[in-house]
Structure 1
Amino acid sequence: MIEDFGNFKRDKYCGEVSLEDVDRELRLCGWVHRVRNHGGVVFIDLRDREGIVQVVIEEKTNPKAYEKADRVKPEWVIGVVGKVRKRPEGTENPKLRTGYVEVFASDIKVFNTSEVPPFPVEEETHVSEELKLRYRYIDLRRFSMSQNMLFRHRFYQTTRRFFEEEGFIEIETPFLTKSTPEGARDFIVPSRLHPGKFYALPQSPQLFKQILMISGFDRYFQIVKCFRDEDLRADRQPEFTQIDYEMSFVREEEVMDIAERLVVRLFKELLGVELKTPFERVSYREAMERYGTDKPDRRFGLELIELSDIFGNTEFKVFRSVLDKGGVIKAINFKGSNLSRKEIDNLTLFVQKLGAKGLAWIKVEQGKLVSPIVKFFSQQETDNLLRRVNAEEGDVIFFSADTKEMVYKILGALRLELAKTYGLVDKSKWDVLWVVDFPLMEWDETEGRFLSLHHPFTAPVEEDIPKLEEAVKVQDLAEKKALVHSVRARAYDLVINGEEVGGGSIRIHRTDLQGLIFKLLGIGEVEAQEKFGFLLEALKFGAPPHGGLAFGLDRLVALMRGLESIRDVIAFPKTQKGICMLTSAPDYVTPKQLKEVHIKVME
């Protein structure tokens, strides 16, 4: 029954057949989506990457084609020859792009059959993600998935056209490079020719793009694969794609301007959405204090409210002990929510999973304050509190009293949980902003040293450099921390709807300043040479002032498509455990292969 493809030539995609094609004879190819026999007439929904078109085969006009059509099954690969006609009045399907036409077939060719697929090629599949990833080639046939891939393709082309017009040069950087473990773990690759030595897959092209600036290629870009061996979430993959660019002889403004114009172009061309520029700028400190996160979603309220001053002299022991230890008290007011006690208990469990000891709350109900803690407040504290949070009937006020970092973590997550659970987000809005004025470094209690908030090649604000020079000399740790934490980074993150989609900085281009940063990070001269010697040497040979930015392409595409997981915009993604269900990677290799790369696996 299978026929040779031979000279069969497709005229257009199934999903592109329209009223303009009426009375034209077309040859179409695709997969059988659905078959219906209505006694003497067979209807086949023929599908390809662009959509579905209805094919009609009548027994009385073409018995041979009818006989073939009556035997085909879903997912068989066929070709159809037929004339396009309008659908009879009352049978149109406005939900389909091709819903006003059908193809009256004169011939059908079966190019291949198919076993019954593990799940139907429908939008609502109701099967596990593992099964869909195991048979990804079936999953990708679904219209929404094919549209995700086509959207990603158009995203690539728009990006490349933009950078070409702006005078950037696309240059590829190596995948097999040196391990520089600052941040996430590297994927390492053993060398067969150099026993005991390893390559690393790059977490980003950071060092190479800086060297390209030193090489004189003052405007570089790349759409590049990057690799991080880290624990995975819905928005993380071990291999991911970045739009990476770097520029010489620029300050923050020029780098951010390129990012803004690219994003505006992508939204306009791919979504028909006009974004207002310039994008608003919010300082890191303001973002943390108002939203508890450096990637705030501002499409709803529930801002954090400072209460530490109100309870400065409180007798309430829980609050008193927090303030005495240098902690803070903040709250959010879920206005008019009238939450039940069960709902409040569920939210308490939610924050306890994040490390909170509990969740203090006050409910305004029938003009009274209902709460286990309000009896511990003085009248003045209560009055000031209600005034500060603008309390009204039906409001529920949630408190967090702890270290500043823990309060941000708890209330930042709580406001997102409330928004998600109770539908507070206005999904018609695009909230786009820059977060700027980040601290350059933060103190890590576990490692007992400073860590870069972004990466160790980020330049500090010029007027703050004397503080770093002073911090190196200071012996007292508290004084050193105070100095270092006051130093701002020349860094900038682009946030859309509460997702960080891109980030970058002006880089350090002086060897003396880079050495100072390494010293504060606890990276000695020997270690610095071992890890970054090639960059440090290059900086000695006329490095220009430079900076850049990298977009998380997968995340930005998913955001623009309105999807929760980046796996839906990657053709062959890994699971949350880093497994490729299609190929069963990672997998074992033979003893011979291990011996060739001088590796012995421990039992």
Structure 2
Amino acid sequence: MRSHYCGDVNKSHLGQEVTLVGWVNRSRDLGGVVFLDLRDREGLVQVVYDPDLKDVFDIASTLRSEFCVQVKGVVSARPESQVNSNMKTGEIEILGKQLTIINASAPLPLSMDNYQNNSEEQRLKYRYLDLRRPEMAERLIFRAKVTSSVRRFLDSNGFLDIETPILTKATPEGARDYLVPSRTYKGQFFALPQSPQLFKQLLMMSGFDRYYQIVKCFRDEDLRADRQPEFTQIDIETSFMSSEQVMEKTEQMMRGLFQDLLNVDLGDFPRMSYAEAMKRYGSDKPDLRNPLELVDIADLVNNVEFAVFNGPANDVEGRVAALRIPTGASLSRKQIDDYTKYAGIYGAKGLAWMKINDLAAGIEGIQSPVLKFLTEAIVNDIISRTGAQTADIILFGADKATVVEEAMGALRLKAGEDFKLLEGEWRPLWVVDFPMFEQINGGFHAVHHPFTAPRGISAEQLAADPAVAISDAYDMVLNGCELGGGSVRIHNAEMQSTVFGILGIEAEEANEKFGFLLEALRYGTPPHAGLAFGLDRIIMLMTGASSIRDVMAFPKTTTAACPLTNAPGFANPVQLAELGIAVVEKVKTEE
């Protein structure tokens, strides 16, 4: 039905007859001549109809936005005064000779321009219309180019694309599983995979040295802008490769991706330990475009008569940190109060501050509600350590270290945006040397997942002091966003059983849930390591979208619903009976 895509017609086709199909983006009648902007996935082209061809002109006069039509005409150069440099096809137009309405369109339920004010609910309900907008179409086309580039790289480096099961068994990945009832085994359930973790390890045990898969994963968790109940991973696993080699290979892949598709050289990927990242930035995925850093001052305030400071300063689990914001003394009291409320979202009980109004004036040039608790020597030491200058403000966080890091890390990002401090467009890094475990409510939990190997210690040493163990894990971070995470995996049964024991998974439970893995580890398992990238997140960053929902064809809402299909829905009672499932209605509480 077509000879060319609309966006592909150019001056090389002058004088040629072309056949185009697509949607009416806009139609306008200017003094008896109808101008039609025809759109398909590759772009727009202008079609002109004049009254000389009365039958065709009459049809053109009836067109409205989103009519699906076929156009036949001759490519002609636009008059020089009408060349549109903002359009790929802006140097030419089509002199329309024939016009067929393939399918008319009813009045549209949403605006179709890129400045539309449609609600997200509307956009998802009429997603097939929303995806026609050039902005959205370009993102999905870009996504296809990314996956194609990734496949080419991995294929050319000896990786095999191998599919793993979607119906599997629940695994402890840190979120709730989506369960699928079995009709054959009533009362029993499959789980949709949160990742192909165990299967890709089993593939390494099977001798398939290098595996990859662009795979759907499912997590029933609270959603945010960069979370969805179903998402896509670039999943990679290797045998006989160290963590350094895996990082080198995947870094090479990411460099090539940005170079090929954005003409961007990502530059160096520095390495930073988890401990350093938390100390300097309050985050394990620091945005290095932001020059602000947290500075510890506990040793300066441990003896002051101010419990808010001296309490955390003398607590082994506490931290007192300062954040200097250049030119921040311009903040009004209301703006400081807003920053205080913002820090409160992350658990901070308050926010102390100090304005450096005039550094040369000494203590007289300092303004702070906590100044009365600090000696001039302490103030000078704080100013010296933070590097504060006239017109700066210093914000203080004092609490448990975890609270300080989360709250002050978030304030660092907000201040960087508010004061336009970001430097450079792309700043990647590797965060390494994560702790194996974190302690929550007296118990140990895996920081990555329970199949991650510790670095440089035996199972006996790990069991003796798990709190200090460092994992052989690594995260790739770009502009404060974790692109992917990976690790060297445990490849012997003794170490795996030890980790399960530390996590409180007793032998009987471990055998029930992971007996197949522990058994497989007994038969000559090779050392192996891998990494999984979040494809949706990568596309979001590369296209500048604000949410991964804008780079997915049919995403869910923030409540994990699909307005387009009205999913989820209630199951047929007959199906439920076959599955042996009874639905318990939610009890309504009286007001």
TM range (shorter): over 0.9
Match of 1:261 in 2: 252
Q: CA deviation at 1:182?
A: 4.2
> Which residue among 309, 318, 322 is the counterpart of 1:319?
309
> Which residue among 4, 7, 18 is the counterpart of 1:26?
18
For 2:499, the aligned partner's letter is I
> Which residue among 119, 123, 127 is the counterpart of 2:114?
123
> Which residue among 448, 461, 465 is the counterpart of 2:455?
461
Match of 1:280 in 2: 270
Match of 1:70 in 2: 61
Is residue 409 from structure 1 mapped to residue 399 from structure 2 by the alignment?
A: no
**C-alpha separation between the residues in 2 aligned to 1:75 and 1:423?**
41
Q: How does 1:4-19 map to 2 (within 5 A)?
A: 9-19=1-11
> Which residue among 210, 213, 231 is the counterpart of 1:222?
213
> Which residue among 373, 390, 395 is the counterpart of 1:393?
390
**C-alpha separation between the residues in 2 aligned to 1:391 and 1:280?**
27
**C-alpha separation between the residues in 1 aligned to 2:576 and 2:484?**
39
Q: Deviations over 1:553-597 (max 9, x none)?
A: 000111111112000110000000000111010011111111111
Match of 1:494 in 2: 476
**C-alpha separation between the residues in 1 aligned to 2:459 and 2:286?**
29
Is residue 202 from structure 1 mapped to residue 193 from structure 2 by the alignment?
A: yes
Aligned length: 578
Q: How does 1:151-550 map to 2 (within 5 A)?
A: 151-277=142-268, 279-326=269-316, 327-337=318-328, 338-366=330-358, 367=361, 368-426=365-423, 428-445=424-441, 448-463=442-457, 466-470=460-464, 483-550=465-532
Q: CA deviation at 1:346?
A: 0.9
**C-alpha separation between the residues in 2 aligned to 1:423 and 1:323?**
32
For 1:32, the aligned partner's letter is V
Alpha-carbon contact 2:215-2:232 (below 8 Å) kept: yes
2:300 match: secondary structure: coil
Alpha-carbon contact 1:465-1:487 (below 8 Å) kept: no
Alpha-carbon contact 2:170-2:177 (below 8 Å) kept: yes
Q: CA deviation at 1:465?
A: 5.0
Match of 1:474 in 2: none
**C-alpha separation between the residues in 2 aligned to 1:25 and 1:34?**
22
Q: Deviations over 1:478-498 (max 9, x none)?
A: xxxxx3222100000000000
Q: Which moved more, 1:136-145 or 1:361-370?
A: 361-370
> Which residue among 34, 37, 40 is the counterpart of 2:32?
40
Q: CA deviation at 1:421?
A: 2.6
Segments of 5+ residues of structure 1 without an aligned counterpart are 1-8, 471-482
Alpha-carbon contact 1:442-1:453 (below 8 Å) kept: yes
Q: Deviations over 1:281-319 (max 9, x none)?
A: 000000000000000001021100110111132222221
**Structure 1 outlier segments of 4+, above 3 Å:** 463-467
**C-alpha separation between the residues in 2 aligned to 1:548 and 1:389?**
40
> Which residue among 552, 560, 563 is the counterpart of 2:545?
563
Could you say what the CA RMSD is over the residues aligned between the two structures, in angstroms? 1.2
For 1:437, the aligned partner's letter is D
**C-alpha separation between the residues in 2 aligned to 1:520 and 1:498?**
31
Identity between Structure 1 and Structure 2 (%):
49
Q: Deviations over 1:129-157 (max 9, x none)?
A: 11001000010000010000000101111
**C-alpha separation between the residues in 1 aligned to 2:418 and 2:556?**
28
1:260 match: secondary structure: helix
2:186 match: secondary structure: coil
Q: Which moved more, 1:587-596 or 1:415-424?
A: 415-424
Alpha-carbon contact 1:464-1:488 (below 8 Å) kept: no
**C-alpha separation between the residues in 1 aligned to 2:270 and 2:13?**
48
**C-alpha separation between the residues in 2 aligned to 1:578 and 1:213?**
34
1:309 match: secondary structure: helix
Q: Deviations over 1:188-237 (max 9, x none)?
A: 00000101100000000000000001111111110000000000000000
Q: Which moved more, 1:144-153 or 1:383-392?
A: 383-392
**C-alpha separation between the residues in 1 aligned to 2:144 and 2:314?**
56
2:96 match: secondary structure: strand
For 1:80, the aligned partner's letter is V
Segments of 5+ residues of structure 2 without an aligned counterpart are 586-591
Match of 2:51 in 1: 59
Alpha-carbon contact 2:287-2:480 (below 8 Å) kept: yes
Q: Deviations over 1:417-463 (max 9, x none)?
A: 1122333224x521010000000001011xx3100000000000024
Alpha-carbon contact 2:18-2:72 (below 8 Å) kept: yes
1:460 match: secondary structure: coil
For 2:562, the aligned partner's letter is C
Alpha-carbon contact 2:459-2:494 (below 8 Å) kept: no
